[in-house]
Structure 1
Amino acid sequence: MKRKIKQPEVKCPYCGRMAVLRDASYVYKENALDKYLYICSGYPECDAYVGVHAGSLRPKGSLANGDLRHKRIETHRLFDAIWKNGIFSRKEAYRWMQDTFSLNSSQAHIGQFSDYRCDCLMNECRKVLQNNHVRTA
């Protein structure tokens, strides 16, 4: 007998409405990369949504509007450059992030970060990349 996966309750931090689980094509049409998204029930007036981990109903982070989604993508690009350029292993890079910002492993996810925390991590990533002679665009 299969167990039904319990869908978490996700609330929009911008307008307070509940998010609904929808097929990603609802937002991205035929360009959908994720299978599902949690989308604010006020969409499109409230432009907040977040992807879902493959094979689960677990959100990849917190709902974010367009500005924060873009900032999280940029933050991940800089952070990933640290391990992709061999400065740290991926595991070591996440440990560095935890140590730098006094986070535990459940808090060290860019998908949970605020605008401010993204700015802080991007600044620290730039320092590490520059100290290791890796160009940032």
Structure 2
Amino acid sequence: MTARKIFCCGCGDKVEARLTSGAEVYPHRADLADLPFWKCDGCGNWVGCHHKTTNRTNPLGNIPTKELKNARQHIHRLLDPLWQSGIFRRSDIYAKLTEHMGFEYHTAQLRTLDEARKAYKFIKELAA
């Protein structure tokens, strides 16, 4: 069994996450069966991996709760069109978010719903 210390938002600490596959975390999704995921056996939450890179088991970020995962997706629905449309450069938006949040911003590093709300509110103001 492969294990790795990853921060788990559900447990509130770094945990020994277990490397598993999409067959376990998404049993109803045959298209994800062979993809790697890190799972916290303490709370049952998981995070995907950068599977399209040379280090395909590198986690995308910390292990979110279901609510935080939904909040992150909501943030990306607002954030991504801003740089994809050319309104902003992606690096500029992330630099602004880094300054606003007080840590190097990446959506997958958000640990709490309060952090997600703070980021969302700031992005919404940028979009206005």
Q: TM-score normalized by structure 1?
A: 0.74
Q: Is the 8 A contact 2:21 2:36 kept in 1?
A: yes
Distance 1:39 1:111, change over 3 A: same
Over the residues paired in the alignment, what is the CA RMSD in angstroms? 2.4
List per-residue Cα deviations over 1:76-100 (Å, max 9, x = no partner).
Answer: 2212122123221112111121122
CA distance in 1, matches of 2:79, 2:119: 8
Percent identity, aligned pairs only, is 24
Larger radius of gyration: 1
Q: Which structure 1 segments of 5+ residues have no match?
A: 1-5, 131-137
Q: Which structure 2 segments of 5+ residues have no match?
A: none
CA distance in 1, matches of 2:38, 2:127: 34
CA distance in 2, matches of 1:22, 1:77: 28
Corresponding residue of 1:80: 80
List per-residue Cα deviations over 1:60-85 (Å, max 9, x = no partner).
Answer: 11111211111111112212122123
Q: Is the 8 A contact 1:52 1:60 kept in 2?
A: yes
Corresponding residue of 2:70: 70
Report deviation, 1:7.
6.0
Corresponding residue of 1:135: none
Report deviation, 1:14.
2.8
Q: Is the 8 A contact 2:47 2:61 kept in 1?
A: yes
Q: How many residues align?
A: 119
Q: TM-score normalized by structure 2?
A: 0.78
- 1:109 pairs with 89, 106, 116, which one? 106
